[in-house]
Structure 1
Amino acid sequence: MGKYRILLTGWLLVILLSACGSVKDITYLQGEGLLKKAAIADTFNLKIQKDDLLDIVVSSIEPELLRPFIQQNGSYGGNYNSGYDGYNNDNNGYSRGYLVEMDGTINYPLLGKMKVAGLTRREVIDLIQERLAKEGYVKDPIVTVRFLNFRISILGEVGRPGTYNIPSERITLFEALSMAGDLTIYGRRDRVAVIREIDGERTILYHDLRSMDVFQSPDYYLKQNDMIYVEPNHVRAEASAQNQFTSIGTWMSIISFLASMSVLIFK
Protein backbone atom coordinates (compact mmCIF):
# COMPACT_ATOMS: atom_id res chain seq x y z
CA MET A 1 0.00 0.00 0.00
CA GLY A 2 2.85 2.38 0.81
CA LYS A 3 4.26 1.93 -2.70
CA TYR A 4 0.94 2.78 -4.36
CA ARG A 5 0.50 5.76 -2.05
CA ILE A 6 3.87 7.15 -3.12
CA LEU A 7 2.98 6.69 -6.79
CA LEU A 8 -0.38 8.40 -6.30
CA THR A 9 1.27 11.33 -4.52
CA GLY A 10 3.77 11.64 -7.36
CA TRP A 11 1.02 11.74 -9.98
CA LEU A 12 -0.86 14.38 -8.01
CA LEU A 13 2.27 16.55 -7.84
CA VAL A 14 2.76 16.24 -11.60
CA ILE A 15 -0.86 17.28 -12.23
CA LEU A 16 -0.57 20.26 -9.87
CA LEU A 17 2.69 21.41 -11.45
CA SER A 18 1.16 21.10 -14.93
CA ALA A 19 -1.82 23.17 -13.81
CA CYS A 20 0.46 25.89 -12.46
CA GLY A 21 2.39 25.94 -15.72
CA SER A 22 -0.77 26.25 -17.81
CA VAL A 23 -2.01 29.21 -15.75
CA LYS A 24 1.28 31.04 -16.27
CA ASP A 25 1.03 30.34 -19.99
CA ILE A 26 -2.31 32.15 -20.37
CA THR A 27 -2.15 34.92 -17.74
CA TYR A 28 -1.72 38.42 -19.15
CA LEU A 29 0.63 41.09 -17.77
CA GLN A 30 2.47 38.97 -15.24
CA GLY A 31 4.64 40.84 -12.80
CA GLU A 32 5.55 41.28 -9.18
CA GLY A 33 3.29 43.06 -6.72
CA LEU A 34 -0.38 43.90 -6.74
CA LEU A 35 0.12 47.49 -7.87
CA LYS A 36 2.52 48.72 -10.47
CA LYS A 37 2.61 52.32 -11.64
CA ALA A 38 4.30 53.59 -14.76
CA ALA A 39 4.14 56.93 -16.51
CA ILE A 40 2.27 56.83 -19.81
CA ALA A 41 4.37 58.32 -22.57
CA ASP A 42 2.06 60.24 -24.88
CA THR A 43 3.78 59.13 -28.07
CA PHE A 44 0.65 58.20 -29.99
CA ASN A 45 0.44 60.32 -33.11
CA LEU A 46 -1.72 58.93 -35.91
CA LYS A 47 -0.66 60.22 -39.32
CA ILE A 48 -2.85 60.37 -42.41
CA GLN A 49 -1.83 57.89 -45.09
CA LYS A 50 -2.55 57.27 -48.76
CA ASP A 51 -5.97 55.69 -49.37
CA ASP A 52 -7.40 57.12 -46.13
CA LEU A 53 -10.93 58.43 -46.42
CA LEU A 54 -11.56 61.66 -44.54
CA ASP A 55 -14.75 63.35 -43.43
CA ILE A 56 -14.23 67.14 -43.37
CA VAL A 57 -16.92 69.45 -42.00
CA VAL A 58 -16.72 73.25 -42.01
CA SER A 59 -19.06 75.48 -40.03
CA SER A 60 -19.23 79.16 -39.18
CA ILE A 61 -21.25 81.62 -37.11
CA GLU A 62 -22.11 83.28 -40.44
CA PRO A 63 -23.85 80.58 -42.54
CA GLU A 64 -24.01 82.78 -45.63
CA LEU A 65 -20.23 82.52 -45.93
CA LEU A 66 -20.61 78.78 -46.48
CA ARG A 67 -22.87 79.20 -49.51
CA PRO A 68 -20.14 78.50 -52.12
CA PHE A 69 -19.43 75.17 -50.46
CA ILE A 70 -23.12 74.31 -50.17
CA GLN A 71 -23.68 75.04 -53.85
CA GLN A 72 -20.81 72.80 -54.92
CA ASN A 73 -21.80 69.85 -52.77
CA GLY A 74 -25.58 70.10 -52.62
CA SER A 75 -25.58 70.43 -48.85
CA TYR A 76 -28.20 72.41 -47.01
CA GLY A 77 -28.18 74.28 -43.73
CA GLY A 78 -25.74 76.29 -41.65
CA ASN A 79 -22.97 73.70 -41.75
CA TYR A 80 -21.08 72.61 -44.78
CA ASN A 81 -20.72 68.85 -44.88
CA SER A 82 -17.86 67.34 -46.85
CA GLY A 83 -20.33 65.06 -48.57
CA TYR A 84 -20.18 62.15 -46.16
CA ASP A 85 -23.63 60.58 -45.89
CA GLY A 86 -22.83 58.17 -43.10
CA TYR A 87 -21.25 54.83 -42.54
CA ASN A 88 -23.10 51.69 -43.49
CA ASN A 89 -22.42 48.93 -40.94
CA ASP A 90 -24.12 46.28 -43.08
CA ASN A 91 -21.93 46.35 -46.15
CA ASN A 92 -18.77 47.92 -44.73
CA GLY A 93 -19.08 50.62 -47.37
CA TYR A 94 -18.76 54.37 -47.32
CA SER A 95 -20.61 57.01 -49.22
CA ARG A 96 -18.52 60.00 -50.22
CA GLY A 97 -15.72 61.54 -48.18
CA TYR A 98 -12.30 62.75 -49.31
CA LEU A 99 -9.94 60.05 -50.51
CA VAL A 100 -6.22 60.65 -49.98
CA GLU A 101 -4.73 60.00 -53.41
CA MET A 102 -1.50 58.13 -54.12
CA ASP A 103 0.38 61.44 -54.23
CA GLY A 104 -0.85 62.17 -50.69
CA THR A 105 -3.30 64.92 -51.65
CA ILE A 106 -7.03 65.55 -51.42
CA ASN A 107 -8.97 67.75 -53.83
CA TYR A 108 -10.87 70.17 -51.60
CA PRO A 109 -13.53 72.60 -52.91
CA LEU A 110 -12.15 76.03 -53.83
CA LEU A 111 -8.83 75.31 -52.10
CA GLY A 112 -7.84 72.74 -54.71
CA LYS A 113 -5.25 70.05 -54.10
CA MET A 114 -3.79 69.92 -50.61
CA LYS A 115 -1.03 67.66 -49.35
CA VAL A 116 -2.33 65.88 -46.23
CA ALA A 117 -0.46 62.56 -46.13
CA GLY A 118 1.99 62.55 -43.24
CA LEU A 119 -0.02 65.12 -41.30
CA THR A 120 -2.01 64.51 -38.16
CA ARG A 121 -5.73 65.17 -38.01
CA ARG A 122 -5.06 68.29 -35.94
CA GLU A 123 -2.58 69.59 -38.51
CA VAL A 124 -5.12 69.14 -41.34
CA ILE A 125 -7.71 71.04 -39.31
CA ASP A 126 -5.27 73.91 -38.78
CA LEU A 127 -4.28 73.90 -42.46
CA ILE A 128 -7.86 74.14 -43.75
CA GLN A 129 -8.92 76.74 -41.16
CA GLU A 130 -5.92 78.90 -41.97
CA ARG A 131 -6.45 78.77 -45.74
CA LEU A 132 -10.22 79.36 -45.57
CA ALA A 133 -9.70 82.44 -43.40
CA LYS A 134 -6.61 83.74 -45.20
CA GLU A 135 -8.08 83.40 -48.68
CA GLY A 136 -11.34 85.04 -47.61
CA TYR A 137 -13.74 82.13 -48.08
CA VAL A 138 -14.97 81.74 -44.50
CA LYS A 139 -14.57 84.06 -41.53
CA ASP A 140 -13.57 82.30 -38.31
CA PRO A 141 -14.18 78.80 -39.70
CA ILE A 142 -14.62 75.81 -37.44
CA VAL A 143 -13.29 72.63 -39.04
CA THR A 144 -13.60 69.02 -37.91
CA VAL A 145 -11.81 66.10 -39.53
CA ARG A 146 -12.24 62.40 -38.83
CA PHE A 147 -11.33 59.10 -40.43
CA LEU A 148 -14.06 57.20 -42.26
CA ASN A 149 -12.11 54.02 -43.02
CA PHE A 150 -10.04 53.36 -39.89
CA ARG A 151 -10.22 49.58 -39.77
CA ILE A 152 -8.14 46.71 -38.45
CA SER A 153 -8.16 42.97 -39.19
CA ILE A 154 -7.82 40.31 -36.50
CA LEU A 155 -7.00 36.74 -37.48
CA GLY A 156 -6.00 33.48 -35.87
CA GLU A 157 -6.98 32.10 -32.47
CA VAL A 158 -9.52 34.69 -31.33
CA GLY A 159 -13.20 34.36 -30.54
CA ARG A 160 -14.47 36.44 -33.48
CA PRO A 161 -11.89 36.93 -36.23
CA GLY A 162 -12.70 39.55 -38.84
CA THR A 163 -12.29 43.16 -39.93
CA TYR A 164 -13.39 45.84 -37.48
CA ASN A 165 -14.11 49.51 -38.16
CA ILE A 166 -12.88 51.82 -35.42
CA PRO A 167 -15.06 54.87 -34.64
CA SER A 168 -12.20 56.81 -33.03
CA GLU A 169 -8.56 57.16 -33.98
CA ARG A 170 -7.08 55.68 -30.83
CA ILE A 171 -7.22 51.96 -30.03
CA THR A 172 -4.79 49.70 -28.19
CA LEU A 173 -3.79 46.13 -28.92
CA PHE A 174 -5.73 44.88 -25.89
CA GLU A 175 -8.86 46.80 -26.90
CA ALA A 176 -8.71 45.29 -30.39
CA LEU A 177 -8.37 41.76 -29.04
CA SER A 178 -11.27 42.43 -26.69
CA MET A 179 -13.44 43.43 -29.67
CA ALA A 180 -12.59 40.10 -31.30
CA GLY A 181 -13.69 38.10 -28.25
CA ASP A 182 -10.20 37.71 -26.72
CA LEU A 183 -7.77 34.90 -27.47
CA THR A 184 -9.08 31.35 -27.40
CA ILE A 185 -7.49 28.81 -25.09
CA TYR A 186 -5.53 27.63 -28.14
CA GLY A 187 -3.92 31.02 -28.85
CA ARG A 188 -0.30 31.69 -27.99
CA ARG A 189 -0.09 34.66 -25.65
CA ASP A 190 3.61 35.01 -26.44
CA ARG A 191 3.20 35.20 -30.24
CA VAL A 192 0.71 37.93 -31.10
CA ALA A 193 1.84 39.64 -34.29
CA VAL A 194 0.97 43.14 -35.49
CA ILE A 195 1.49 43.49 -39.24
CA ARG A 196 1.76 47.07 -40.45
CA GLU A 197 2.37 48.69 -43.85
CA ILE A 198 3.64 52.25 -44.07
CA ASP A 199 5.18 53.99 -47.10
CA GLY A 200 5.69 50.76 -49.02
CA GLU A 201 7.28 48.88 -46.12
CA ARG A 202 5.76 45.99 -44.18
CA THR A 203 6.78 45.29 -40.60
CA ILE A 204 5.81 42.35 -38.39
CA LEU A 205 6.31 42.75 -34.66
CA TYR A 206 5.54 39.96 -32.18
CA HIS A 207 4.19 40.66 -28.70
CA ASP A 208 4.15 38.64 -25.49
CA LEU A 209 0.90 39.54 -23.75
CA ARG A 210 2.15 37.89 -20.57
CA SER A 211 4.81 40.56 -20.17
CA MET A 212 4.49 44.16 -19.04
CA ASP A 213 6.85 45.05 -21.89
CA VAL A 214 3.90 44.99 -24.29
CA PHE A 215 3.07 48.55 -23.15
CA GLN A 216 6.41 49.75 -24.56
CA SER A 217 5.75 48.36 -28.03
CA PRO A 218 5.60 50.90 -30.89
CA ASP A 219 2.58 48.90 -32.10
CA TYR A 220 0.69 48.97 -28.79
CA TYR A 221 -1.43 51.77 -30.23
CA LEU A 222 -2.77 50.48 -33.52
CA LYS A 223 -2.95 52.37 -36.79
CA GLN A 224 -5.32 52.21 -39.74
CA ASN A 225 -5.19 48.94 -41.72
CA ASP A 226 -3.11 47.11 -39.10
CA MET A 227 -3.49 43.33 -39.04
CA ILE A 228 -3.29 41.27 -35.84
CA TYR A 229 -2.49 37.57 -36.03
CA VAL A 230 -2.62 35.20 -33.04
CA GLU A 231 -0.63 32.02 -33.55
CA PRO A 232 -2.11 28.66 -32.47
CA ASN A 233 -0.38 26.70 -29.72
CA HIS A 234 0.95 23.15 -30.04
CA VAL A 235 -2.35 21.67 -28.84
CA ARG A 236 -4.22 23.23 -31.76
CA ALA A 237 -1.45 22.29 -34.20
CA GLU A 238 -1.47 18.66 -33.05
CA ALA A 239 -5.27 18.52 -33.25
CA SER A 240 -5.16 19.92 -36.77
CA ALA A 241 -2.54 17.38 -37.82
CA GLN A 242 -4.59 14.58 -36.26
CA ASN A 243 -7.73 15.73 -38.07
CA GLN A 244 -5.83 15.86 -41.33
CA PHE A 245 -4.47 12.35 -40.76
CA THR A 246 -7.96 11.09 -39.90
CA SER A 247 -9.33 12.71 -43.05
CA ILE A 248 -6.65 11.08 -45.20
CA GLY A 249 -7.32 7.74 -43.52
CA THR A 250 -11.03 8.09 -44.20
CA TRP A 251 -10.46 8.79 -47.89
CA MET A 252 -8.04 5.90 -48.14
CA SER A 253 -10.66 3.61 -46.62
CA ILE A 254 -13.27 4.82 -49.10
CA ILE A 255 -10.91 4.34 -52.05
CA SER A 256 -10.00 0.84 -50.81
CA PHE A 257 -13.68 -0.03 -50.43
CA LEU A 258 -14.52 1.22 -53.94
CA ALA A 259 -11.60 -0.73 -55.39
CA SER A 260 -12.78 -3.91 -53.67
CA MET A 261 -16.31 -3.39 -54.95
CA SER A 262 -15.02 -2.85 -58.47
CA VAL A 263 -13.13 -6.13 -58.35
CA LEU A 264 -16.24 -7.96 -57.16
CA ILE A 265 -18.51 -6.36 -59.78
CA PHE A 266 -16.26 -6.83 -62.79
CA LYS A 267 -14.81 -10.20 -61.79
Structure 2
Amino acid sequence: MRVKYIITIGIVLLILSGCNRRSQLLYMKDLNPAGEELVAKPPQYKLQPGDLLFIQLITSSPEISQAFNNPAGSQFLTRTQDESSLYFNGHTLDAEGFVTLPFLGSAKLEGLTLDEARSEIRILTEKLFKDASVVVKLANFRVTVVGEVRQPGTFRNFNDYLNIFEALAQVGDISENGNRKNVLVVRQTDTGSKTFRVNLNDKSVFTSEAFYLLPNDVIIVEPIGNKIFQMNVPYITLTFSTISTLILLYNFITRL
Protein backbone atom coordinates (compact mmCIF):
# COMPACT_ATOMS: atom_id res chain seq x y z
CA MET A 1 0.00 0.00 0.00
CA ARG A 2 2.82 2.35 0.86
CA VAL A 3 4.46 1.78 -2.55
CA LYS A 4 1.17 2.51 -4.35
CA TYR A 5 0.77 5.68 -2.30
CA ILE A 6 4.25 6.89 -3.26
CA ILE A 7 3.64 6.09 -6.95
CA THR A 8 0.31 7.96 -6.90
CA ILE A 9 1.93 11.02 -5.33
CA GLY A 10 4.67 10.90 -7.97
CA ILE A 11 2.15 10.77 -10.83
CA VAL A 12 0.19 13.70 -9.39
CA LEU A 13 3.36 15.76 -9.06
CA LEU A 14 4.32 15.00 -12.66
CA ILE A 15 0.88 16.08 -13.91
CA LEU A 16 1.00 19.30 -11.90
CA SER A 17 4.50 19.98 -13.16
CA GLY A 18 3.33 19.53 -16.76
CA CYS A 19 0.40 21.91 -16.26
CA ASN A 20 2.67 24.51 -14.71
CA ARG A 21 5.12 24.11 -17.60
CA ARG A 22 2.35 24.70 -20.15
CA SER A 23 1.23 27.77 -18.24
CA GLN A 24 4.73 29.24 -18.48
CA LEU A 25 4.69 28.92 -22.28
CA LEU A 26 1.43 30.83 -22.82
CA TYR A 27 1.45 34.48 -23.86
CA MET A 28 -1.06 36.77 -22.14
CA LYS A 29 -2.81 33.81 -20.53
CA ASP A 30 -5.11 36.11 -18.54
CA LEU A 31 -6.93 37.36 -21.65
CA ASN A 32 -10.71 37.12 -21.58
CA PRO A 33 -11.67 34.04 -23.67
CA ALA A 34 -14.68 35.96 -24.98
CA GLY A 35 -12.36 38.61 -26.38
CA GLU A 36 -11.42 42.08 -25.22
CA GLU A 37 -9.95 45.24 -26.69
CA LEU A 38 -6.37 46.05 -25.77
CA VAL A 39 -4.90 49.33 -26.96
CA ALA A 40 -1.20 50.15 -27.00
CA LYS A 41 -0.19 53.60 -28.19
CA PRO A 42 2.86 53.65 -30.50
CA PRO A 43 5.62 56.00 -29.35
CA GLN A 44 6.71 59.05 -31.31
CA TYR A 45 10.44 58.53 -31.75
CA LYS A 46 12.52 61.72 -31.58
CA LEU A 47 15.53 61.88 -33.86
CA GLN A 48 18.94 61.95 -32.18
CA PRO A 49 22.51 62.72 -33.30
CA GLY A 50 23.91 59.69 -35.08
CA ASP A 51 20.57 58.61 -36.54
CA LEU A 52 20.78 57.49 -40.16
CA LEU A 53 18.02 58.70 -42.47
CA PHE A 54 16.90 57.62 -45.91
CA ILE A 55 15.79 60.83 -47.65
CA GLN A 56 14.36 60.93 -51.15
CA LEU A 57 13.26 63.94 -53.17
CA ILE A 58 10.68 63.34 -55.91
CA THR A 59 9.97 66.07 -58.46
CA SER A 60 8.40 66.30 -61.91
CA SER A 61 11.90 66.47 -63.36
CA PRO A 62 13.74 63.11 -63.35
CA GLU A 63 17.04 64.94 -63.82
CA ILE A 64 16.56 67.04 -60.69
CA SER A 65 15.44 64.04 -58.67
CA GLN A 66 18.44 62.04 -59.84
CA ALA A 67 20.80 64.91 -59.03
CA PHE A 68 19.49 65.08 -55.46
CA ASN A 69 19.12 61.39 -54.82
CA ASN A 70 22.21 59.23 -54.69
CA PRO A 71 22.18 55.93 -56.64
CA ALA A 72 20.68 54.00 -53.73
CA GLY A 73 18.23 56.82 -53.11
CA SER A 74 16.67 56.42 -56.55
CA GLN A 75 14.62 53.58 -55.13
CA PHE A 76 12.62 53.29 -51.96
CA LEU A 77 14.23 51.72 -48.94
CA THR A 78 13.83 47.96 -49.18
CA ARG A 79 14.87 44.89 -47.26
CA THR A 80 17.33 44.01 -50.02
CA GLN A 81 19.56 47.02 -49.40
CA ASP A 82 22.55 46.01 -47.31
CA GLU A 83 24.10 47.83 -44.38
CA SER A 84 26.93 49.35 -46.43
CA SER A 85 24.54 50.78 -49.03
CA LEU A 86 22.45 52.46 -46.35
CA TYR A 87 25.51 53.73 -44.51
CA PHE A 88 27.25 55.32 -47.51
CA ASN A 89 24.13 56.68 -49.20
CA GLY A 90 22.07 57.72 -46.19
CA HIS A 91 22.11 61.01 -44.30
CA THR A 92 23.42 61.01 -40.73
CA LEU A 93 22.54 63.59 -38.10
CA ASP A 94 25.78 65.15 -36.91
CA ALA A 95 26.73 65.81 -33.28
CA GLU A 96 24.70 69.03 -33.33
CA GLY A 97 21.62 67.31 -34.72
CA PHE A 98 21.92 68.75 -38.24
CA VAL A 99 21.68 66.93 -41.56
CA THR A 100 23.23 68.34 -44.75
CA LEU A 101 21.33 67.83 -48.01
CA PRO A 102 22.51 68.42 -51.60
CA PHE A 103 21.35 71.81 -52.99
CA LEU A 104 19.15 72.43 -49.94
CA GLY A 105 21.70 73.08 -47.22
CA SER A 106 21.45 72.04 -43.57
CA ALA A 107 18.42 71.37 -41.42
CA LYS A 108 18.30 70.75 -37.68
CA LEU A 109 16.27 67.60 -37.15
CA GLU A 110 17.29 66.59 -33.65
CA GLY A 111 14.28 66.18 -31.38
CA LEU A 112 11.81 65.95 -34.27
CA THR A 113 9.59 63.03 -35.21
CA LEU A 114 9.86 61.61 -38.73
CA ASP A 115 6.73 63.52 -39.77
CA GLU A 116 8.14 66.75 -38.36
CA ALA A 117 11.49 66.11 -40.07
CA ARG A 118 9.68 65.53 -43.37
CA SER A 119 7.87 68.86 -42.97
CA GLU A 120 11.13 70.64 -42.13
CA ILE A 121 12.83 69.32 -45.26
CA ARG A 122 9.72 70.10 -47.30
CA ILE A 123 10.07 73.77 -46.31
CA LEU A 124 13.62 73.77 -47.70
CA THR A 125 12.57 72.18 -50.98
CA GLU A 126 9.82 74.75 -51.56
CA LYS A 127 12.49 77.39 -52.03
CA LEU A 128 13.67 75.58 -55.17
CA PHE A 129 10.98 73.09 -56.19
CA LYS A 130 7.29 73.83 -55.86
CA ASP A 131 6.10 70.36 -56.81
CA ALA A 132 8.52 68.26 -54.77
CA SER A 133 7.54 65.37 -52.52
CA VAL A 134 9.80 64.24 -49.70
CA VAL A 135 10.25 60.75 -48.30
CA VAL A 136 11.99 60.35 -44.93
CA LYS A 137 12.61 56.98 -43.31
CA LEU A 138 14.70 55.91 -40.34
CA ALA A 139 17.38 53.58 -41.71
CA ASN A 140 19.07 52.54 -38.47
CA PHE A 141 16.08 51.03 -36.63
CA ARG A 142 17.92 47.98 -35.34
CA VAL A 143 16.99 45.71 -32.46
CA THR A 144 19.13 43.08 -30.74
CA VAL A 145 17.64 39.97 -29.11
CA VAL A 146 19.83 37.67 -27.02
CA GLY A 147 19.44 34.94 -24.44
CA GLU A 148 16.96 32.07 -24.53
CA VAL A 149 15.62 32.58 -28.06
CA ARG A 150 15.95 30.24 -31.02
CA GLN A 151 18.01 32.53 -33.28
CA PRO A 152 19.62 35.34 -31.25
CA GLY A 153 21.00 38.27 -33.17
CA THR A 154 20.51 41.82 -34.47
CA PHE A 155 18.06 42.70 -37.22
CA ARG A 156 16.89 45.87 -38.95
CA ASN A 157 13.25 46.95 -38.88
CA PHE A 158 11.72 48.49 -42.02
CA ASN A 159 8.40 49.53 -40.48
CA ASP A 160 7.56 52.69 -38.57
CA TYR A 161 6.75 50.68 -35.45
CA LEU A 162 7.85 47.37 -33.94
CA ASN A 163 6.41 45.70 -30.86
CA ILE A 164 8.12 43.15 -28.65
CA PHE A 165 6.14 40.18 -30.01
CA GLU A 166 7.12 41.08 -33.58
CA ALA A 167 10.76 41.34 -32.52
CA LEU A 168 10.68 37.92 -30.86
CA ALA A 169 9.06 36.44 -33.97
CA GLN A 170 12.03 37.71 -36.00
CA VAL A 171 14.38 35.51 -33.95
CA GLY A 172 12.20 32.40 -33.92
CA ASP A 173 10.42 33.11 -30.62
CA ILE A 174 11.52 32.35 -27.07
CA SER A 175 12.78 28.82 -26.50
CA GLU A 176 11.10 26.46 -24.04
CA ASN A 177 13.80 27.34 -21.52
CA GLY A 178 13.17 31.10 -21.72
CA ASN A 179 11.54 33.05 -18.89
CA ARG A 180 8.53 34.78 -20.43
CA LYS A 181 7.53 36.34 -17.12
CA ASN A 182 10.59 38.53 -16.73
CA VAL A 183 11.95 39.69 -20.10
CA LEU A 184 14.50 42.49 -19.87
CA VAL A 185 14.51 45.39 -22.34
CA VAL A 186 17.50 47.78 -22.31
CA ARG A 187 17.00 51.17 -23.96
CA GLN A 188 19.56 53.88 -24.69
CA THR A 189 18.51 57.41 -23.71
CA ASP A 190 20.15 60.83 -23.62
CA THR A 191 21.13 60.27 -20.00
CA GLY A 192 22.25 56.64 -20.25
CA SER A 193 20.58 53.24 -20.28
CA LYS A 194 17.04 52.59 -19.07
CA THR A 195 15.75 49.10 -18.30
CA PHE A 196 12.26 47.59 -18.32
CA ARG A 197 10.95 44.27 -17.06
CA VAL A 198 8.12 42.81 -19.14
CA ASN A 199 5.80 39.92 -18.26
CA LEU A 200 4.69 38.37 -21.56
CA ASN A 201 2.38 35.96 -19.73
CA ASP A 202 0.22 38.89 -18.65
CA LYS A 203 -1.89 41.26 -20.76
CA SER A 204 -0.38 44.16 -18.82
CA VAL A 205 2.43 43.96 -21.38
CA PHE A 206 0.27 46.24 -23.56
CA THR A 207 0.63 49.06 -21.03
CA SER A 208 4.41 48.74 -20.72
CA GLU A 209 6.68 51.43 -22.15
CA ALA A 210 8.68 48.60 -23.68
CA PHE A 211 5.78 47.05 -25.63
CA TYR A 212 6.74 49.16 -28.63
CA LEU A 213 10.47 49.07 -29.22
CA LEU A 214 12.73 51.95 -30.20
CA PRO A 215 15.92 51.94 -32.30
CA ASN A 216 18.88 50.17 -30.66
CA ASP A 217 16.76 48.47 -27.99
CA VAL A 218 18.20 45.23 -26.62
CA ILE A 219 15.92 42.38 -25.51
CA ILE A 220 17.40 39.88 -23.06
CA VAL A 221 15.50 36.65 -22.38
CA GLU A 222 16.78 34.98 -19.24
CA PRO A 223 16.57 31.21 -18.58
CA ILE A 224 13.93 29.80 -16.26
CA GLY A 225 14.93 28.09 -13.03
CA ASN A 226 14.66 24.61 -14.56
CA LYS A 227 17.28 25.49 -17.17
CA ILE A 228 19.65 26.79 -14.52
CA PHE A 229 19.15 23.59 -12.52
CA GLN A 230 19.80 21.46 -15.61
CA MET A 231 23.01 23.36 -16.29
CA ASN A 232 24.16 22.74 -12.72
CA VAL A 233 23.24 19.03 -12.64
CA PRO A 234 26.72 17.86 -13.79
CA TYR A 235 28.39 19.93 -11.07
CA ILE A 236 25.93 18.75 -8.42
CA THR A 237 26.43 15.14 -9.50
CA LEU A 238 30.20 15.55 -9.43
CA THR A 239 30.05 17.11 -5.97
CA PHE A 240 27.93 14.30 -4.51
CA SER A 241 30.09 11.70 -6.23
CA THR A 242 33.23 13.25 -4.76
CA ILE A 243 31.70 13.41 -1.28
CA SER A 244 30.55 9.78 -1.52
CA THR A 245 34.01 8.68 -2.63
CA LEU A 246 35.65 10.55 0.25
CA ILE A 247 33.24 8.99 2.75
CA LEU A 248 33.91 5.49 1.42
CA LEU A 249 37.65 6.16 1.48
CA TYR A 250 37.43 7.45 5.05
CA ASN A 251 35.46 4.39 6.20
CA PHE A 252 37.95 2.10 4.51
CA ILE A 253 40.93 3.78 6.16
CA THR A 254 39.36 3.84 9.63
CA ARG A 255 38.71 0.10 9.46
CA LEU A 256 42.33 -0.74 8.83
Q: Same fold (TM over 0.5)?
A: yes
- Return 5+ residue gaps in structure 2 as ranges: 240-256
| 1:155 aligned residue (120, 143, 146) | 146
Is 1:121 aligned with 2:121?
no
Question: Which has the higher mean CA deviation after the structures are superposed, 40-49 or 150-159?
Answer: 40-49
Cross-structure match for 1:109: 102
Partner SS state of residue 193, structure 2: strand
- Say whether the 8 Å CA contact 1:158–1:184 is kept in structure 2: yes
Cross-structure match for 2:89: 96
Cross-structure match for 1:190: 181
Q: Which has the higher strand share?
A: 1
- Say whether the 8 Å CA contact 2:40–2:207 is kept in structure 1: no
| d(CA) in 2 for partners of 1:231, 1:105 | 39
Cross-structure match for 2:253: none
Cα offset for 1:38? 2.0
1:132/1:217 CA distance change after superposition, 3 Å:
same
Cα offset for 1:183? 0.8
- Say whether the 8 Å CA contact 1:87–1:148 is kept in structure 2: no
Partner SS state of residue 181, structure 2: strand
- Say whether the 8 Å CA contact 2:86–2:139 is kept in structure 1: no
Cα offset for 1:11? 2.0
Cα offset for 1:81? 4.5
| d(CA) in 2 for partners of 1:42, 1:173 | 13
Q: TM-score, normalised by structure 2?
A: 0.81
Partner SS state of residue 44, structure 2: coil
| d(CA) in 2 for partners of 1:179, 1:74 | 30
Structure 2 counterpart of 1:188, one-letter code:
N
Cα offset for 1:26? 2.0
- Say whether the 8 Å CA contact 1:50–1:103 is kept in structure 2: yes
Write the mapping of 1:50-65 to structure 2, written as runs, cut at 5 A.
50-63=49-62
| d(CA) in 1 for partners of 2:139, 2:164 | 20
Partner SS state of residue 196, structure 2: strand
- Say whether the 8 Å CA contact 1:56–1:81 is kept in structure 2: no
Partner SS state of residue 25, structure 1: helix
1:36/1:92 CA distance change after superposition, 3 Å:
farther
Deviations 1:141-180 (A, max 9, x none): 1000112221111010000001111122211100101111
| 2:215 aligned residue (218, 224, 246) | 224
Partner SS state of residue 238, structure 1: helix
| d(CA) in 1 for partners of 2:199, 2:139 | 31
Name the structure, 1 or 2, with higher relative contact order (CA <8 Å, separation 6+).
Answer: 2
Cross-structure match for 2:48: 49
Aligned residues with identical type, % of pairs: 27
Cross-structure match for 1:12: 11
Is 1:199 aligned with 2:190?
yes
| 2:125 aligned residue (132, 146, 161) | 132
Cross-structure match for 1:256: none
| d(CA) in 1 for partners of 2:238, 2:50 | 44
- How many pairs align? 238
| d(CA) in 2 for partners of 1:9, 1:197 | 53
Cα offset for 1:242? 4.3
Partner SS state of residue 232, structure 1: coil
- Return 5+ residue gaps in structure 1 as ranges: 249-267
- Say whether the 8 Å CA contact 2:42–2:161 is kept in structure 1: no
- Say whether the 8 Å CA contact 1:50–1:102 is kept in structure 2: yes
Q: TM-score, normalised by structure 1?
A: 0.78
Cα offset for 1:13? 1.4
> Over aligned residues, Cα RMSD in angstroms?
3.0
